[in-house]
Structure 1
Amino acid sequence: MGVAARSVFIASLGPGGGKSTIALGLAELLSRQVGRIAAFRPLVPTTGPDPILALLHDRYRVELPLAELSGAGYPEAAALVGDGRREELISRIVERYRSVERRCPAVVVIGSDFDDAEENAGGMSRELAFNARLATEFGSVVVAVIDGFEQDEKAIAGAARGAYHELTDLGATVLAVIANRVPHEMTLPELPVPAYAIPEVPTVSAPTVAEVAAALGATRLAGDDSALDRDVLDYVVGAAHVPTLLDHLTDGCLVITPGDRADLLLAASAAHVAGQVSVAGLVLTLGERPDERVMRLLERLHSGLAVLCVPTDSYHTVAASSRIEGRPSSASPRKVEAALGAFESTVDTAELSRRLRVTRSVRVTPLMFEYDLIDRARAQRRHLVLPEGPAERILRATEILLRRGVAELTLLGDPAEIGRKARELGVDVEGATIVDPADSPWREEFAVEYAGLRAHRGVTLDLARDVVGDPNYFGTLMVHTGRVDGMVSGATRTTAATIRPAFEIIKTVPGVSVASSVFFMLLADRVLVYGDCAINPDPDAAQLADIAVSSADTAARFGVEPRVAMLSYSTGTSGSGADVEKVAAATELVRQRRPDLLVEGPIQYDAAIDPAVAATKLPGSSVAGRATVFVFPDLNTGNNTYKAVQRSAGAVAVGPVMQGLRRPINDLSRGATVPDIVNTVAITAIQAAG
């Protein structure tokens, strides 16, 4: 049974509790259902932007200014409560909330912190009652959050029961109870609402080297920005001899040692490079800088570690460092993905969605599209291969994909090289399988298979042995033989290098004459599908019809209702010539093959997308002015148009997404970002599941 509500209120039973993780998880859930979400905090500090609000504002592209997403500052609240004007405070907060709610279909509300409220708001001893009252005034459903950090199961279970009963006694509608940061996997007691336990994930709460550096006022002597992004999971003080230090190094440790101990500095760096341990970074105390000869040697080790210098001694440096706690933020995307991975792996988001009846938007927005990709891929996990295993962007994307549970992954490459590169970047890819085509036992089998497939082209077994050593051919044969479900490549190699093996080995679906591609164009208010902008230079009418049908099916598979515009330089019967006749013939073929599809052509782009132009040029058309799938007459037109829209309109282009192949193989742009790779892998997984 669902509860109709436009907002979810996160109320914690006690200070802390990791509300950032819960807020992220709920925002992710809502962003798949509605076009716009907002965040709101009833009380915020006045010393700077609230970190949770700032994170949600940036990640979910909240259109409202950050300053409008809060009710009151703690000093203002303290003054009003101190003057006996508590109801006036509540009235002000509710008024500010309603202003946000009127402009967004769904809102995540993060309740006030007990410790901050007690200290700053004049002794609001009934903070939970205060939050429950606000949730009722907002019309919100409540997610109760329990902090399970360093608590035993009995205490956590008691707190979960207490939270539910206390909130319901206060008149709140409880959606779920979540215990966060529990010491290990556990099951909460049965309650009338869903109850979940999220295990402690050190990566989420651990500070980064950058956060430690900022808190200590450190000077960076070595290491780039990626070195500062490493998580600090432990602190090791170096004061003894090298063998003793090596015995005490742990994965993720920050080594704190006097700056004149060059032996310890080099030993820790060498242990990291050798793969003996993954060090987070090094902090040199007492303001001592190593000799330049030592720094040059350290640079030649290529450890990728940050080396920091602080003026304090080791004791005070460790004491100050241990008080630093990390949290997900826009500046730490790895923590955000780790937090979401923890939430989604333990919380039944499908069940929460059913219970929370937020009216789903009929229009697919870019944000909904991107987050829906992750959700759908996670629901039917598939196994994919990434041939460019050692590439930095691939490794960073792999960590995100594994944390979010998007797919099982195999990376191709030398395991030693991939391990070294992962350590340098500070990324965790242990969940991936690593296969080296150079010495894989599958290589001979693949050579025999490829030689058989290409015998008509004169390919001998000896030649095939050389060919299948290429990672793209090896990965394609993994797909062909069923060892994996799909492949994504192209971050470091050309489109031809990715798709040639697919054309030779995978081949097209029966009944489809040509493989093609589409780009999903994520505009500010809609998602459009452009095809073919990457593969076929000058398709004939039959091929163009194949592209149109494949593009429409791809659009429908990814939640975009297909209304197909067959583009030309003329609309209807206004023009003539071979190019127009090709598009007209292709349109008729589509209508014959797929009478269920809405298709219009020939049609100009402006008539296809603009209702006002459509009313003049093609009145009464079911596609004109409302097209969602745009089929270009040739590669020159399609490729230039998608790039023009991408650059001029600020659209995000996701693709190219291959279609028409028997098994999913997708190509990346060599300029692909890490989010681009994540999206493409999710798309490929969905194609494989389909």
Structure 2
Amino acid sequence: MDIIQDIRKRASKELKTIVLPRSSDPRVVQAAQHLKDHNLAHPILIQNSGTSDISKNLQVVDPVSDERLKTYAHSFYLQRKHKGISESDAIDIVKDPLFFAAAMVAAGDADGCVAGSVSTTGDVLRAAIQTIGLKSGSNVVSSVFLMSFNDGRVFTYGDCAVVPYPNAEQLATIAMDSAQTHQKVTGSKPKVAMLSFSTKGSAEHERIDLVRNALEIINSHNLNYPVDGELQFDAAIVPQIAQRKAPDSEVAGQANVFIYPNLDAGNIAYKITERLAGATATGPIIQGLAKPMMDLSRGCTWEDIVNTVCVCALMSDG
């Protein structure tokens, strides 16, 4: 089954509540209507300046008049008062649709949030990090793309959109979060390759040491899925090459999660895979937060929003 069809089918069984902050965007409204009509999720729209006529069967929340505003703002104040904000500052901030939507997720009034059709990635992540926060055990917010092929193969690439040059601890977190994302969204057991320009000591360099150090951190967590490195991409995916270069590896030749050592490599790799290999890239899927808040491209279609909401639903533990 096509991965998008599979994601939608599984999301329909979850029927999570997902909040969409920009009801002034016709794409967001169209996506919400589709989600509602096809029982893929329970969408909640956030009223904002420029919002026009919306079907009465869609739920719309106005942050300014909502009775939960003061409660959300107080929680935000407690989290951010060390930065010098006042309670009145907190109210002004949480009135913003992005922050109000994130506050709904933080409070458990929604299972997740999908934003970004008219907001920058920086604005979306700022609202998410300041309001929802990082999940336990995570030290960085990162992202993955699902790369799906016509023959049914699906791979996860991380990080391709957020962290430029992770240190060893961050790279380890990206790898573990990417594995969890892969399992949640695809339903398949992750096999994680820590990529480099070296395979098992074939070269020596400080950039290779970064990958090795990250793997050492990962191995201290006693995970129930295999992670290995350092591996070159061909050794990670081609069984014959894996047999020559890393014969004892549980991952080499059969990896489905690929962790790139920096954003240069990850971003270039996913775009090459998309443009030359004809793969479909789904993402970026934001990970590392205590609860899911997804970022959209500002060039997204309403169908992209629907698909991202379904991914968000699968990422939710609620």
TM-score category, normalised to shorter length: over 0.9
In structure 1, give the amino acid aligned to 2:285.
V
Q: Kindly indicate whether residue 57 of structure 2 is the aligned counterpart of residue 431 of structure 1.
A: yes
- Count of aligned residue pairs for this structure pair: 316
Task: Name the CA distance, whole Å, in 2 between partners of 1:416 and 1:464.
Answer: 23
Partner of 2:103: 477
1:186-335 aligned at under 5 Å gives the runs none
3-state SS, counterpart of residue 630 of structure 1: strand
Partner of 2:147: 521
Partner of 1:399: 33
Partner of 1:417: 51
Task: Name the CA distance, whole Å, in 2 between partners of 1:611 and 1:431.
Answer: 53
- 1:563 Cα deviation from its structure 2 partner: 0.9
1:144-159 aligned at under 5 Å gives the runs none
Tell me if structure 2 keeps the 8 A contact 1:560–1:628: no
Partner of 1:564: 192
Tell me if structure 2 keeps the 8 A contact 1:564–1:631: yes
1:129-144 aligned at under 5 Å gives the runs none
Pick from 670, 673, 677: which aligns with 2:301? 673
Task: Name the CA distance, whole Å, in 2 between partners of 1:679 and 1:458.
Answer: 39
Partner of 1:622: 250
Task: Name the CA distance, whole Å, in 2 between partners of 1:610 and 1:628.
Answer: 12
- 1:527 Cα deviation from its structure 2 partner: 0.4
3-state SS, counterpart of residue 12 of structure 2: helix
Q: Kindly indicate whether residue 230 of structure 2 is the aligned counterpart of residue 602 of structure 1.
A: yes
Partner of 1:375: 9
Task: Name the CA distance, whole Å, in 2 between partners of 1:509 and 1:595.
Answer: 17
Task: Name the CA distance, whole Å, in 1 between partners of 2:46 and 2:200.
Answer: 50
- 1:613 Cα deviation from its structure 2 partner: 2.7
- 1:456 Cα deviation from its structure 2 partner: 0.2
Q: Aligned in 2, Cα 1:438/1:647: closer, same or farther, shift over 3 Å?
A: farther
Q: Kindly indicate whether residue 288 of structure 2 is the aligned counterpart of residue 660 of structure 1.
A: yes
Tell me if structure 2 keeps the 8 A contact 1:390–1:418: yes
Task: Name the CA distance, whole Å, in 1 between partners of 2:142 and 2:48.
Answer: 32
Task: Name the CA distance, whole Å, in 1 between partners of 2:268 and 2:299.
Answer: 16
- 1:415 Cα deviation from its structure 2 partner: 8.9
Partner of 2:164: 537
Task: Name the CA distance, whole Å, in 2 between partners of 1:468 and 1:596.
Answer: 40
Task: Name the CA distance, whole Å, in 1 between partners of 2:120 and 2:49.
Answer: 24
Task: Name the CA distance, whole Å, in 2 between partners of 1:561 and 1:456.
Answer: 41
Runs of 4+ displaced beyond 6 Å? none
3-state SS, counterpart of residue 316 of structure 2: helix
Task: Name the CA distance, whole Å, in 2 between partners of 1:571 and 1:670.
Answer: 38
Task: Name the CA distance, whole Å, in 2 between partners of 1:491 and 1:643.
Answer: 21
Partner of 1:582: 210
- 1:595 Cα deviation from its structure 2 partner: 4.4
Could you say what the CA RMSD is over the residues aligned between the two structures, in angstroms?
A: 1.9
Tell me if structure 2 keeps the 8 A contact 1:415–1:435: no
Listed one character per residue, the Cα deviations across residues 325-352 of structure 1 (whole Å, up to 9, x for unaligned) are xxxxxxxxxxxxxxxxxxxxxxxxxxxx
Listed one character per residue, the Cα deviations across residues 147-197 of structure 1 (whole Å, up to 9, x for unaligned) are xxxxxxxxxxxxxxxxxxxxxxxxxxxxxxxxxxxxxxxxxxxxxxxxxxx
Partner of 1:464: 90
Task: Name the CA distance, whole Å, in 2 between partners of 1:689 and 1:623.
Answer: 27
In structure 2, give the amino acid aligned to 1:538.
Y
Pick from 103, 123, 130: which aligns with 1:504? 130
- 1:579 Cα deviation from its structure 2 partner: 0.8
- 1:447 Cα deviation from its structure 2 partner: 2.5
Task: Name the CA distance, whole Å, in 2 between partners of 1:534 and 1:416.
Answer: 30
Partner of 1:494: 120
Tell me if structure 1 keeps the 8 A contact 2:24–2:50: no
Task: Name the CA distance, whole Å, in 2 between partners of 1:465 and 1:689.
Answer: 28
**Identity percentage of aligned residues:** 39
**Which structure has the larger Rg?**
1
Task: Name the CA distance, whole Å, in 2 between partners of 1:620 and 1:444.
Answer: 58
3-state SS, counterpart of residue 593 of structure 1: coil
- 1:628 Cα deviation from its structure 2 partner: 0.2
Pick from 209, 215, 221: which aligns with 1:593? 221
Tell me if structure 1 keeps the 8 A contact 2:189–2:225: no
Task: Name the CA distance, whole Å, in 2 between partners of 1:593 and 1:527.
Answer: 26
Task: Name the CA distance, whole Å, in 2 between partners of 1:592 and 1:414.
Answer: 47
In structure 1, give the amino acid aligned to 2:24.
P
Listed one character per residue, the Cα deviations across residues 2-48 of structure 1 (whole Å, up to 9, x for unaligned) are xxxxxxxxxxxxxxxxxxxxxxxxxxxxx4xxxxxxxxxxxxxxxxx
3-state SS, counterpart of residue 440 of structure 1: coil
Tell me if structure 2 keeps the 8 A contact 1:414–1:435: no
Tell me if structure 2 keeps the 8 A contact 1:529–1:551: yes
| Bigger RCO of structures 1 and 2 (CA < 8 A, at least 6 apart) | 2
Task: Name the CA distance, whole Å, in 2 between partners of 1:493 and 1:434.
Answer: 19
Task: Name the CA distance, whole Å, in 1 between partners of 2:260 and 2:31.
Answer: 31
Pick from 274, 278, 293: which aligns with 1:646? 274
3-state SS, counterpart of residue 579 of structure 1: helix
Pick from 451, 456, 463: which aligns with 2:77? 451
In structure 1, give the amino acid aligned to 2:156.
V
Task: Name the CA distance, whole Å, in 1 between partners of 2:48 and 2:264.
Answer: 39
Q: Kindly indicate whether residue 263 of structure 2 is the aligned counterpart of residue 635 of structure 1.
A: yes
Task: Name the CA distance, whole Å, in 2 between partners of 1:389 and 1:417.
Answer: 6
Tell me the TM-score normalized by structure 1: 0.44
Gaps of 5+ in 1: 1-30, 32-366, 423-428
Tell me if structure 1 keeps the 8 A contact 2:160–2:266: yes
Task: Name the CA distance, whole Å, in 2 between partners of 1:459 and 1:490.
Answer: 25
Tell me if structure 2 keeps the 8 A contact 1:519–1:531: yes
Task: Name the CA distance, whole Å, in 2 between partners of 1:629 and 1:418.
Answer: 42
- 1:414 Cα deviation from its structure 2 partner: 4.3
Listed one character per residue, the Cα deviations across residues 538-580 of structure 1 (whole Å, up to 9, x for unaligned) are 2111221111111112212231321110011111101111110
Task: Name the CA distance, whole Å, in 2 between partners of 1:604 and 1:624.
Answer: 9
Gaps of 5+ in 2: none
1:353-364 aligned at under 5 Å gives the runs none
Tell me if structure 1 keeps the 8 A contact 2:22–2:48: no
3-state SS, counterpart of residue 396 of structure 1: helix
In structure 2, give the amino acid aligned to 1:631.
I
3-state SS, counterpart of residue 524 of structure 1: coil
In structure 2, give the amino acid aligned to 1:555.
H
In structure 2, give the amino acid aligned to 1:385.
V
